[in-house]
Amino acid sequence: MSENQQPLLELRDIEAGYGRAALVLRGLSVTVPAAPSSAWSAPTAPGSPPC
Amino acid sequence: MIGPNGSGKTTFFNCVTGMIRPDSGTVSYRGRDVTGKASHRIAAAGIGRSFQLCRIFPRMTVLENVLAAARPRGIAALLGSARGAAEIDRARGWLHRVGIDHLEGAEARDLSYGQQKLLELAGVLMAEPETIMLDEPAGGVNPALIDRIAALVRELNAEGRTFIVVEHNMELVMSLSDHVVVFDRGRPIAEGPPDTVRADPAVLEAYLGV
């Protein structure tokens, strides 16, 4: 897989918080897609990287 | 990223940027495992962030604040605090971009809250991140400065930087974003283009209370 095809950011099954009594994220999985390089040239256009 | 208070948005930021270590699971950035890495390593990988409550040095000048955020490079890294003219120019350039270059000699504590937000953003940019995570950039900021922040995000996005934004100002989120993730109780409950998310019944119930 090329770098362009990889997600920008990927979280898988995250459990996290501030001590056992304050678990905030419970099995969080989120993927932030990497934008296609063609989007960079289009200011504020649809398809540009996620904001 | 939107969601009610306590839904996990800032904790998500903290996990990604190394402020807290997840109890389990993995965080990958551009295919590289960065789970539990120290904040400075995450920053070196290309991720910068701002905070819900501004983190600046109140008794330092505006220019000094931005210089303090510089990532040491080359000979400057070897000499510790050495600051070349080029680095100072770069700091001034970012202050100009965010619109507070006229305040470079002022102490940061004398700036308005909105100006402090812009100062923090200039500091984030000084480290030249390719991905910028903003935690409530419009919180407590007057409408004119919100417009400036939004315009700056659009400009920097067009130049190739990716933004991940936690924000309660729905108008700002919907106008800036290509992809929206809605959090509730530590999990995403919806995601997609703004118009799709806006119409999602789960979002209306959890976030808007209708």
pLDDT in tens, A5-47: 788 999 999 999 887 667 888 888 988 888 643 333 222 333 3
Q: Would you state the pLDDT for residue B79?
A: 59
Which neighbouring-strand residues pair with B180? B192
Identify which of B6, B25, B178 has the shortest CB distance to residue A11: B25
A5, A14, A18, A20: which to substitute to probe chain B, counting the most B Cβ within 10 Å? A14
Of the pLDDT bands very low, low, confident and very high (cuts 50, 70, 90), residue B73 is: low
Nearest by CB: B179 against A12, A43, A50: A50
* Beta bridge mates, B162: B131
pLDDT recorded at residue A51: 37
What 3-state DSSP class applies to A19?
Answer: coil
> ∠B119-B11-A34 over CA atoms, to 5°?
75
Residue of A nearest to B173 (CA): A51
Judge contact between B21 and A18, C-beta under 8 A.
no
Q: pLDDT value at position B81?
A: 54
Do the beta carbons of residue B163 and residue B132 sit within 8 Å?
A: yes
Task: Give the number of other Cβ atoms within 10 Å of residue B25's Cβ.
Answer: 17
Does the beta-carbon distance from A15 to B179 stay under 8 Å?
Answer: no
pLDDT tens, residue by residue, B44-72: 999 999 987 778 899 999 999 999 888 66
- Whether residues A17 and B157 touch (CB distance < 8 A) is answered with no
Residues with Cβ within 8 Å of B40's Cβ and at least 6 positions away in sequence, in order, are: B18
Angle at B96 between CA B90 and CA B101, to 5 degrees: 100
Pairing between strand B131-135 and B162-166?
parallel
| pTM for this model (two decimals) | 0.83
